[in-house]
Chain A
Amino acid sequence: MNFEKLYIPAEAVERFTVLYQILSHAAKWYPNRTAYCQPEGKDTESTVTFAQLKQNVNALRAALVARGMADRHSAIFGESSYQWVTAYLALVTGCGVAVPLDKENPVETAAKQICHADVQTVFCSARSLKKLQKILPECPGVKTVVLMRTAEAPDLPEGVEAVALDALLEEGKALLAEKGAAALPEKTDPDALAVIIYTSGTTGANKGVMLSNRNIMGTLRGCARLLHYPRTSISVLPINHSYELHAHLMSCMYCGTTVFLNNDLKRMLQNIEKFGPEMSCMVPMMLDLLVKKIKKQIADSGKGAKFNATAKLSNGLLKMGIDLRRRLFGQVITALGGNLRMIICGGAALSQDTADFLRTVGITVYNGYGITECSPVAAVNPLAKVRRHSVGHLLPTMTARIADPDENGNGEIQLYGDNVMLGYYKAPEDTKAVFTEDGWFRTGDIGHIDKFNYLYISGRLKNLIILPNGKNVCPEELEQALRERMPYIKECVVMSDEAGTGIYALIYPDPAEMRDRNLTDPAQIKAFMEPDMQAFNRDMPGFKRIADFEITETEFAKNTTHKIQRFKIAAVRKPKEEPVNV
C-alpha cells in the first residue's frame, strides 16, 4: 500500500499549533519521500527523506537535552542545507530559542546580533567558519560552536567548545535507543518564544523579532488554506529570512514537497535547469532575471515574431478557459528545467508586466505580502484566483483593518491575529511604537482592501528602501555610516533609483572643509571622495553598497524639526540621462 498518494486536505493543518506537528505529519504521510536535496561539491548531491529528517531532529533534541544545552539561545549561521533545517527544527521544538543569522552580514553586525540575542551556542556551517572566527572574540557569551557539514575543529577562542553536528546526532540516537521518548524535551509551549529573527529597523539599529510556534503556524495554516505546493520546489532565497524559512520550507514540509536547496546564488539558474522544479519562492529581481533568460532564448532561436503571435492566441484561449501554454511554450522554458509553473513572489514590489509575461509562458506568479513581524505572510494570491496588481488575499488566520483611510480607501494597514509577533527582543519601546493602543500591529505600509478581501499596497509610511531582491535598507542607517566614515560630509541623503536596482547618495559636503582642501568644483569634490566611497563599499554587504553618488552645493530642504524632507529631494532629483559610457 502506498500512502504517499493520499490527498490530505488543508483543514488537517488547522489543529496544529507547533512546528513539530508539521514534521511528524510529513514523516507519517511521506516517510520515504526526499525532503531535501542539496549539492555536495560540483556534480554530486545528498538527500534526506522526511522520516530521516524527523529522526535527526529528535536525535539532536535528545543530545541537546542531555548536554544541558536545551534552554539556550542558539544562532544558526551558514548557507542553506538540511543540517541548517535540522538545527532549526530541533531548536524551535522545545530546545531553547533559534536565532537565524544572515551569513552575508558584516562581522560587526553579526557580532552585535549574537550578543544582543544572548546567544550561547552557534550552529555554523563549514563555509561560514572563517567569518565566525572573526566574530567570536567580540561575543564572550558564546560557549559552544556546533559544526555543520564538517568535523574539523577550527581554532576558537579559549573557553569555546567545538562539537560536530554529526557527533551530536550519533549521541542523540544512542540516547533515544536507550531511553526512548524520555530523552526528548517536554512538550513545546505554542506561545513561548521560539525564534528571534533580525530585521532592519527604521531607527537604524537592527531589531530582533520574537516569534512563537503559534505565530509561525499562523502563516503555515493561512498559506495551506490559500495554496497547495506541488511535488518539487527549489529554495533560492537566504534561508535565514522568515519568508523563505516559513512561507516556503516549512509549508513545503506540510505538503510533502521535495525541496532542492540551492546554496549559492551564483548557481541559481544552473540549478533550476538541472533540478527542474515545479515551483519556487522568489523576489521580483529573480523574476526579472528569469524573464531576461526566457526572452534571450526566444531571441536566440530567431522566433520572436512567432512567439508574439502564439502568445496572443494563447492568452485569448486562456480567457476562454483553454490552457495550451505548456504545449505551446514548453520549449521556451526548457532553460528553466521545463517544469516550472508556480512562483510565489514577495519581499518587494512586483512589476505587473513581469508577472504577465511569465503567465503567458505558463508560469503563474502568486504575489504576496508580508513582513517579518507577521511570521511573515499577511496576504498571498490564492490558487483559486490571482488578481492582477493585488498582493493577495488576506490570510484567513488574521484580521486586517485600514487606519484613517483617505477618499480612495488608502490608509495604514494594521493587522491582528496569530501571525503577529510577540514583540522585539529587549526593546519594549520599539515594540510599543509598532502596536496601537488596542493591540493591532502597525505595518507602516499604506494600502486598501477590496470587497473580496484582496490587499493592494500603494506606499510606505517609513523611509525604508526595499530593493527588488527583497533586502530592506534603512536610509538613515547608511547616511549615518557615511557621515561617520567621511566626516567632511555635512548632509547626505540615500535613496534608490527609479528602477530600484541600486542605491544612490546625494551628498552635501561641508563647504569650509572643501575650501581648506582647495576643492571648489563638484566634479573635483567627487573625484576626491571616490576612493573613500570605494573603501566604504568594500566594508558593506553587497545590497548596501552605494552604486553612485552626486554632489550638491546646497543644503537639503528641512521641516520645522530640522529633519530633511526626503520627498522634496526625490521630486527635484533629475532623472538619469543615459550615462552609459564613462
Chain B
Amino acid sequence: MFDKIRDVILEYVELPKESITPDTRFLADMHMNSLDIMTMIGQLEDEYDITIETEDLNNIYTMQQLVDYIEERL
C-alpha cells in the first residue's frame, strides 16, 4: 500500500522515489499544496473505494499516518 500511495504522490511532486519514506511529511517535506493533497485524496478514494473525510486530514501529517488511515478503512 505504501508503494501504491507513493506512486500516486509522485504524480504531484517532482522528487526521487527513494526520498519518500514513511516519515516524510506532506507539507513540510514534500511541499505539496492543499489542492494537490485534495486531488490526491480524491484519487485514493477512487482507488480504494473509500471515503476520506476532509476533517480527518487535519490529523494526517506523514505518509505513514495516511497509510494507517486508509488501512483502517479497508
In the assembled complex, how far is the CB of residue A518 from the closest CB belonging to chain B, in whole angstroms? 26
Q: In the docked arrangement, what's the CA distance between A157 and B39, Å?
A: 37
Q: Is A502 within 8 A of B35, CB to CB?
A: no
- Chain B residues whose CB sits within 8 angstroms of the CB of A582 once the complex forms: 21, 23-25, 29
Which chain A residue has the least Cβ–Cβ distance from B42?
A266
**Would you call A186 an interface residue if the criterion is a C-beta within 8 Å of the partner chain's C-beta atoms?**
no
**Would you call B71 an interface residue if the criterion is a C-beta within 8 Å of the partner chain's C-beta atoms?**
no
**Would you call A562 an interface residue if the criterion is a C-beta within 8 Å of the partner chain's C-beta atoms?**
no
Give residues 28-74 of B contacting A (CB, 8 Å). 28-36, 38-39, 41-43, 45-46, 52, 54, 57-59, 61
Q: Is A501 within 8 A of B31, CB to CB?
A: yes
Q: Is A469 within 8 A of B31, CB to CB?
A: no
- Chain A residues whose CB sits within 8 angstroms of the CB of B58 once the complex forms: 537-538
Q: Is A266 within 8 A of B38, CB to CB?
A: yes
Which chain A residue has the least Cβ–Cβ distance from B18?
A581
With A266-B42, A581-B21, A582-B29 as known contacts, state yes or no: A542 contacts B34, CB within 8 Å. Answer: yes
With A292-B12, A534-B61, A580-B30 as known contacts, state yes or no: A266 contacts B41, CB within 8 Å. Answer: yes
Q: In the docked arrangement, what's the CA distance between A270 and B39, Å?
A: 9
Q: Is A580 within 8 A of B11, CB to CB?
A: no
Q: In the docked arrangement, what's the CA distance between A469 and B36, Å?
A: 11
In the assembled complex, how far is the CB of residue B49 from the closest CB belonging to chain A, in whole angstroms? 10
**Would you call A497 an interface residue if the criterion is a C-beta within 8 Å of the partner chain's C-beta atoms?**
yes
**Would you call A296 an interface residue if the criterion is a C-beta within 8 Å of the partner chain's C-beta atoms?**
yes
Q: In the docked arrangement, what's the CA distance between A578 and B33, Å?
A: 17
- Chain B residues whose CB sits within 8 angstroms of the CB of A268 once the complex forms: 38-39, 42
**Would you call A269 an interface residue if the criterion is a C-beta within 8 Å of the partner chain's C-beta atoms?**
yes
Other-chain residue from B21, B27, B43 in contact with A502 (beta carbon distance below 8 A) = B27
Which chain B residue has the least Cβ–Cβ distance from A289?
B35
- Chain B residues whose CB sits within 8 angstroms of the CB of A269 once the complex forms: 39, 42-43
- Chain A residues whose CB sits within 8 angstroms of the CB of B32 once the complex forms: 501
Contact pattern, A 483-499, Cβ under 8 Å of B = 1, otherwise 0: 00000000000000101
With A266-B41, A266-B42, A581-B24 as known contacts, state yes or no: A469 contacts B15, CB within 8 Å. Answer: no
In the assembled complex, how far is the CB of residue A20 from the closest CB belonging to chain B, in whole angstroms? 35
Q: In the docked arrangement, what's the CA distance between A301 and B24, Å?
A: 29
In the assembled complex, how far is the CB of residue B71 from the closest CB belonging to chain A, in whole angstroms? 20
Give residues 564-582 of A contacting B (CB, 8 Å). 579-582
Q: In the docked arrangement, what's the CA distance between A538 and B57, Å?
A: 9
Task: Select the residue from B19, B23, B42, B46 with max chain A CB neighbours within 10 A.
Answer: B42
**Would you call A543 an interface residue if the criterion is a C-beta within 8 Å of the partner chain's C-beta atoms?**
yes
Q: Is A266 within 8 A of B39, CB to CB?
A: yes
Q: Is A502 within 8 A of B30, CB to CB?
A: no
Contact pattern, A 317-328, Cβ under 8 Å of B = 1, otherwise 0: 000000000000
Other-chain residue from A267, A292, A548 in contact with B27 (beta carbon distance below 8 A) = A548
Q: Is A285 within 8 A of B33, CB to CB?
A: yes
Q: In the docked arrangement, what's the CA distance between A581 and B57, Å?
A: 21
In the assembled complex, how far is the CB of residue A131 from the closest CB belonging to chain B, in whole angstroms? 10
Q: In the docked arrangement, what's the CA distance between A502 and B13, Å?
A: 14
Which chain B residue has the least Cβ–Cβ distance from A293?
B11
Other-chain residue from A264, A289, A497 in contact with B31 (beta carbon distance below 8 A) = A497
- Chain A residues whose CB sits within 8 angstroms of the CB of B33 once the complex forms: 285, 467-469, 501-502
Q: In the docked arrangement, what's the CA distance between A4 and B34, Å?
A: 40
Q: Is A581 within 8 A of B38, CB to CB?
A: no
Which chain B residue has the least Cβ–Cβ distance from A296?
B11
Q: Is B35 within 8 A of A469, CB to CB?
A: yes
Other-chain residue from B24, B28, B54 in contact with A547 (beta carbon distance below 8 A) = B28
Q: Is A265 within 8 A of B38, CB to CB?
A: yes
Q: In the docked arrangement, what's the CA distance between A425 and B48, Å?
A: 47
Q: In the docked arrangement, what's the CA distance between A269 and B41, Å?
A: 12
With A266-B42, A296-B11 as known contacts, state yes or no: A579 contacts B29, CB within 8 Å. Answer: yes
Q: Is A538 within 8 A of B27, CB to CB?
A: no
Q: Is B24 within 8 A of A543, CB to CB?
A: no
In the assembled complex, how far is the CB of residue B4 from the closest CB belonging to chain A, in whole angstroms? 16
Give residues 21-54 of A contacting B (CB, 8 Å). none
Q: Is B23 within 8 A of A580, CB to CB?
A: no
Other-chain residue from B19, B45, B57, B59 in contact with A580 (beta carbon distance below 8 A) = B19
Q: In the docked arrangement, what's the CA distance between A579 and B28, Å?
A: 9
Q: In the docked arrangement, what's the CA distance between A266 and B41, Å?
A: 6
Give residues 527-563 of A contacting B (CB, 8 Å). 534, 537-538, 542-543, 545, 547-548
Q: In the docked arrangement, what's the CA distance between A285 and B39, Å?
A: 12
Other-chain residue from B27, B36, B46 in contact with A270 (beta carbon distance below 8 A) = B46
- Chain A residues whose CB sits within 8 angstroms of the CB of B45 once the complex forms: 266
**Would you call A286 an interface residue if the criterion is a C-beta within 8 Å of the partner chain's C-beta atoms?**
yes
Q: In the docked arrangement, what's the CA distance between A266 and B50, Å?
A: 13
A-B contact pairs, 25 of them (CB 8 A): A264-B42, A265-B39, A266-B38, A266-B39, A266-B41, A266-B52, A266-B54, A267-B42, A269-B43, A270-B42, A270-B46, A289-B12, A289-B39, A292-B11, A468-B33, A499-B31, A501-B31, A502-B31, A538-B58, A543-B34, A547-B28, A580-B15, A580-B16, A580-B19, A580-B24
Binding site for B on A (CB under 8 A): 264-270, 285-286, 289, 292, 296, 467-469, 497, 499, 501-502, 534, 537-538, 542-543, 545, 547-548, 579-582
Binding site for A on B (CB under 8 A): 11-12, 15-16, 19, 21, 23-25, 27-36, 38-39, 41-43, 45-46, 52, 54, 57-59, 61
The 10 closest A-B pairs by CB, nearest first: A266-B42, A547-B27, A548-B28, A501-B33, A265-B38, A580-B19, A538-B58, A542-B34, A285-B35, A581-B19
